[in-house]
Structure 1
Amino acid sequence: MTASAAPSAPSTPFRVAAVQTVTGTSLDANLARADALIAEAVRGGAELVLLPEYFCMMGRQETDKVAIREQDGDGPVQRFLADAARRHRVWLVGGTLPLHCGDEGRVYNTSLAFDPRGERVARYDKIHLFGFTRGTESYDESRTILAGTEPVAFEAPCGRVAMSVCYDLRFPELYRHLAAGGGTSLILMPAAFTYTTGQAHWEILLRARAIENQCYVLAAAQGGKHENGRRTWGHTMLVDPWGEVLGVLPEGEGVVAGVIDPARLAEVRQNLPALRHRVL
């Protein structure tokens, strides 16, 4: 479902949770940890759970994700997500997993959303691919990932939910596009920000996206030192439409939870009607 669908008008609070992991190199172990953390979130009352980018694998080489890529519609990770959503009776957004893209050396970095019946309701292929070089630290996702082209949102009980992944956070025009026609209630941000870039920009960008779109932002991060030697920033958090951080987990495995409150959304948008004042 793309952003063209008309948003609903939620009237009751909706509890969400973001999972933080320190994903390793074993697919089976990673899925087991994700399931345990989903269960923890659901025990806390979560109705929607967001997993981080690369929750299923952070390999020793960038090409390791290509080796576990799945065909769209079936595979161990997709079955895990559908089953977990159904078993826990929760809206579940699976961070990202590698899907076939038609290029033998690359994959789509794909985020999938499932409803509480385990039915897939949305697929988003990460559009913006991270590139960074400073000294000995260097990343170029385009070597193993093919960029997506289609912005995606879906409807949940809390209203319109905008999908995005990691480096997308630096491109505000994506979220403006998704907010067209009535606004977004919630932006999802599964990520694996590096320690360097996360320390500098993560919270600032999350709060900016919440403030300028007058919506909640739920960010699920990788957070710690990984088996492959990489260190990620963490700081999984929930930000409200005024830019206030409602909960944060600096590092390590865990869950950050909170409420998407339609009354708070309405209050912020009424007090400061910036969305209605847009010219361009």
Structure 2
Amino acid sequence: MSGQVLALQMCSGINAEQNMASLRLSLQQLPKTRPLLVCLPEAFLIFSKSSQASYQLGLKIDDYKAQLAQLCKQHDIWLAAGTVPVSQDNGKYLAASFLFNSQGDVVAQYNKIHLFDVDVADSTRCYRESDATQAGSDIVVVDSPFGKIGLAVCYDLRFSGLFSAMQRQGAELILVPSAFTVVTGAAHWHHLLAARAIETQSYVVAAAQWGDHENGRQTYGHSIIISPWGDTLSELPSGTGFISHELDLNQLNKIRQDMPVQSQQRFREHLL
């Protein structure tokens, strides 16, 4: 199994219809190689000013899932749909990452586990995702033509135990849709992504938000594809657009065979 993976960098706004229109335009520029996995950033559908706007959108998320499914069939692509809000009865919403196959079927749903409750020295300063977002709990790894895909989101990147758990479940390609702040991105983005790729000996693909957003946020960009050896294979530092790379699972398997770190792990019982 192999195939090409593509990460789309976006500057999403507060209007879901406009964000969908932007996505449709981008998909018209796709390479012709198939199978193709298209990865979208965190909050691609709505990067709202208020949690209430996200909650209201989450009440009708099935309509947008149907639109995304149709795009998968139209373009014959697999789609890792960043995150979208899925509203819950308790007044909060899940930050849900859906993976669609090329027939438009949802083959996996990962709900962001680690919520960004952090103080940052930027214009927003105080981030409290848990005020409106309900944390997920399940580790998700799923079969695909691109190998076994593990799903994570943004702040999850700082928690290596989650990535080790995905690797133990067979993950070969780990997706990290993100909306990193400029401050934390400049400090840690590349280091964390490379570390997660090296320690799990997996491909890591991080589609990112970039730029100055309508909600007042500033995001770091630098969408990136990293090899199981930790090499940067493709990167888009700024602007909107996409990067892509052909996966080589033979290389991944050789790295794991030559350096069998997982079988030599002595602290397995202490990990997730």
What's the TM-score, normalizing by structure 2? 0.93
Give the RMSD, CA atoms, in angstroms. 1.5
Specify the alignment match of 2:109 in structure 1: 123
Specify the alignment match of 2:164 in structure 1: 176
Contact 1:18 1:219 in 2 (8 A): yes
Structure 1 residue 276 displacement after superposition: 2.1
Specify the alignment match of 1:110 in structure 2: 96
Q: 2:139 aligns with which of 123, 128, 151?
A: 151
Q: 2:209 aligns with which of 218, 222, 247?
A: 222
Residues 186 and 143 (structure 1), Cα distance of their counterparts in 2 relative to 1, 3 Å cut: same
Structure 1 residue 35 displacement after superposition: 1.9
Specify the alignment match of 2:229 in structure 1: 242
Between 1:162-171 and 1:129-138, the stretch displaced more is 129-138
Q: Map residues 1-280 of structure 1 onto 2, 5 A cutoff.
A: 10=1, 13-43=2-32, 47-70=36-59, 75-104=62-91, 106-134=92-120, 137-181=125-169, 183-280=170-267
Q: What letter corresponds to residue 248 of structure 1 in structure 2?
A: E
Q: What letter corresponds to residue 145 of structure 1 in structure 2?
A: T
Cα distance in 1 between the residues matched to 2:27 and 2:191: 27
Q: What letter corresponds to residue 69 of structure 1 in structure 2?
A: G
Contact 2:34 2:77 in 1 (8 A): no
Cα distance in 2 between the residues matched to 1:46 and 1:63: 38
Contact 1:19 1:38 in 2 (8 A): no
3-state SS, counterpart of residue 127 of structure 1: coil
What's the TM-score, normalizing by structure 1? 0.90
Q: What letter corresponds to residue 113 of structure 2 in structure 1?
A: I
Q: What letter corresponds to residue 95 of structure 2 in structure 1?
A: N
Cα distance in 2 between the residues matched to 1:196 and 1:63: 26
Cα distance in 1 between the residues matched to 2:266 and 2:49: 47
Partner deviation per Cα, 1:75-98 (whole Å, 9 max, x = no partner)? 232112111111111111110100
Specify the alignment match of 1:7 in structure 2: none
Q: What letter corresponds to residue 241 of structure 1 in structure 2?
A: P
Structure 1 residue 49 displacement after superposition: 0.6
Specify the alignment match of 1:6 in structure 2: none
Structure 1 residue 45 displacement after superposition: 5.4
Cα distance in 1 between the residues matched to 2:87 and 2:15: 20
Between 1:269-278 and 1:121-130, the stretch displaced more is 269-278
Residues 19 and 134 (structure 1), Cα distance of their counterparts in 2 relative to 1, 3 Å cut: closer
Contact 1:42 1:90 in 2 (8 A): no
Gaps of 5+ in 1: 1-9
Partner deviation per Cα, 1:145-187 (whole Å, 9 max, x = no partner)? 0001111111101211000111111111111112225x32100
Cα distance in 1 between the residues matched to 2:127 and 2:47: 14
Q: What letter corresponds to residue 14 of structure 1 in structure 2?
A: G
Q: What letter corresponds to residue 242 of structure 1 in structure 2?
A: W
Cα distance in 2 between the residues matched to 1:196 and 1:76: 35
Q: What letter corresponds to residue 138 of structure 2 in structure 1?
A: E
Cα distance in 1 between the residues matched to 2:105 and 2:116: 30
Cα distance in 2 between the residues matched to 1:216 and 1:30: 28
**When the two structures are aligned, how many residues end up with a matched partner?**
265
Q: What letter corresponds to residue 76 of structure 1 in structure 2?
A: D
Between 1:88-97 and 1:77-86, the stretch displaced more is 77-86
3-state SS, counterpart of residue 205 of structure 1: helix
Q: What letter corresponds to residue 7 of structure 2 in structure 1?
A: A
Q: What letter corresponds to residue 41 of structure 1 in structure 2?
A: L
Structure 1 residue 108 displacement after superposition: 0.4
Gaps of 5+ in 2: 268-272
3-state SS, counterpart of residue 190 of structure 1: coil
